[in-house]
Amino acid sequence: MRNAGTPMRRTTLAAILLCATLGALPGARAQSAQAALQNAPAAAAPRIQLADAIIAVVNNEVITRQELTQRARMVELRMKNQGVALPPPAEFQRQLLERMIVDRAQLQLAKEYGIRVDDGMLDRAVSRIAEQNKMSMQDFRNQLEREGTPFARFREEIRDEIAMQRLREREVDNKIQIAESEVDNYLAAEHGSAQVQQEYNLAQILVRTPENASAEQIAARRQRAEEVLQQLRSGGDFAKIAATYSDASDALSGGDLGWRNLDRLPQLFMNAVANLKPGQVSAIVQSPNGFHILKLAGQRSASAAKAGATPSVQQTRARHILIKVNQIVTEADARRKLTELKQRLDNNAAKFEDLAKLFSNDFSASKGGDLGWVYPGDTVPEFERAMNALQPGQVSEPIESPFGFHLIQVVERKTDDVSKERQRLVARQAIRERKLDEATQDWLRQVRDRAYVEYRFDVADAR
């Protein structure tokens, strides 16, 4: 850590929907995941009035027939646009309702911890999404409407996605620990290996086992996984079968995991796909979360690592403005002040370095907030996620770190040869990503299993 006021530590950028937007938005202070789940309102069934429109109850909130139908229409369109075949209607409804239940349970926890996404923050997030799609806001809105997605509903989806991502960052990302021996083992295994220089395009099917499952429950879930694998080996379409049977959050995207470096996969996945050829599916892989089946959709040489080449890493030159919270300055005060400064910057009414000199509480204030060249792993996770989401010249939304609240500006980027010290940081980052996948799935399972859920209707009747 460079200084008590400068956010120096390690992180990776979570590969999720709207990552460029999510990484730049603030979270809120939270308790530990374990305590949070134990204290969640799941101990007893809530008292809720019966209504024909209620499909399911999640803790003390309901999911209505109308909500499920509206979500189904939007997801159907997205799946068609992605080329993912729709599963049978009853299975589609079941999958969608389960996803809504998990989302609702997460949003309830986010609300409990005070995680909020206000309208101003949401406006800026949606604007950034439009920019990333190279559209004006009006063109972007028109495109959504043409695709059958009401703009108001899209905004609320983005609000929810941001809140859930910030919750996961606080409850999962920041609790990942890596021992030096793990870094040593990683570097030893990487030396001379061609596989870590490859990227794999993967998809998965997960047959989830409940938390504290009995032997009978585990056996039943394995049998289901065997049946799914048999369908695949009989020529079944992986994406459609994933959308039908998978319990993973990516099920309705055909189980698509995207391109991954092998060394950033969970160890169980690494072992399962290392010897697959494109188009092949793995045997069943058991993890604490259940039974996985993986498909290798493609393989290519990693652009960042060629055999015999000197390892390199991307550096970022960044500035920041830090406002610390104390007995006089509250969290709300800090957010409000940084939001005002961000508006001045957006309106070209001031220069970042001038505002840093005037308002930043960090030692870098005298240098206009300049942090110099920052390597991956130099900053705390919250700071690096936001920084990685920015293009040169862009300024983040106010973000929170253990040091206070920040505005971040990326000045420029470059690549540099990796010293031994930097190789260890890169290794640590890869290990962290690997652990994060497993930890996130385990945490989501706990959120789902510890929520009180009551089904009011057969989902097949919801259409």
Looking at the structure, do residues 274 and 358 belong to the same domain, yes or no? no
374-389 mean pLDDT: 86
- Taking only the tens place, the pLDDT of each residue in 137-168 is 999 999 888 877 889 989 999 999 989 988 98
Q: Bridge-partner residues for 321, per DSSP? A: 407
Looking at the structure, do residues 215 and 269 belong to the same domain, yes or no? yes
CB 72 within 8 A of CB 93: yes
Predicted TM-score of the model (pTM): 0.60
Looking at the structure, do residues 210 and 235 belong to the same domain, yes or no? yes
Residue 378 placed within a domain:
yes
What are the C-alpha distances in Å from 110 to residues 41, 81, 113, 449? Answer: 13, 31, 5, 17
Looking at the structure, do residues 316 and 355 belong to the same domain, yes or no? yes
Residue 83 placed within a domain:
no
- Range in 98-112, 195-209, 303-317 the model is least confident about: 303-317
- Taking only the tens place, the pLDDT of each residue in 88-104 is 888 888 889 999 999 99
- Range in 105-114, 233-242, 267-276 the model is least confident about: 267-276
Which CATH number covers residue 349?
A: 3.10.50.40
Residue span of the structural domain in which 223 resides:
195-306
Residue 162 placed within a domain:
no
Choosing from 290, 306, 322, the residue where a domain stops is 306
Domain count, the chain: 2
Phi, psi of 248 (to 5 degrees): -80, 160
Residue 210 placed within a domain:
yes
Looking at the structure, do residues 322 and 298 belong to the same domain, yes or no? no
Rg, C-alpha atoms of the chain: 23
Looking at the structure, do residues 343 and 301 belong to the same domain, yes or no? no
What is the sign, positive or negative, of the torsion defined by CA atoms of 121, 123, 127, 129? Answer: positive
Looking at residue 343, its amino acid is: Q
Report the share of the chain in percent with pLDDT over 90: 37
Looking at the structure, do residues 298 and 316 belong to the same domain, yes or no? no
Looking at the structure, do residues 328 and 287 belong to the same domain, yes or no? no
Question: How far apart are alpha carbons 377 and 9 in whole angstroms?
Answer: 6
Highest mean pLDDT among 125-134, 311-320, 355-364: 355-364
Between 420 and 444, residue with greater pLDDT: 444
Q: Of 411, 412, 409, which is closest to residue 356 (Cα–Cα)?
A: 409
On the question of pLDDT at 425 being above 60, the answer is yes
| Look-up of token digits 């999720």 | 16
Question: How far apart are alpha carbons 447 and 444 in whole angstroms?
Answer: 5
- Cβ contacts of 368 within 8 Å, gap of 6 or more: 319, 352, 353, 354, 356, 357
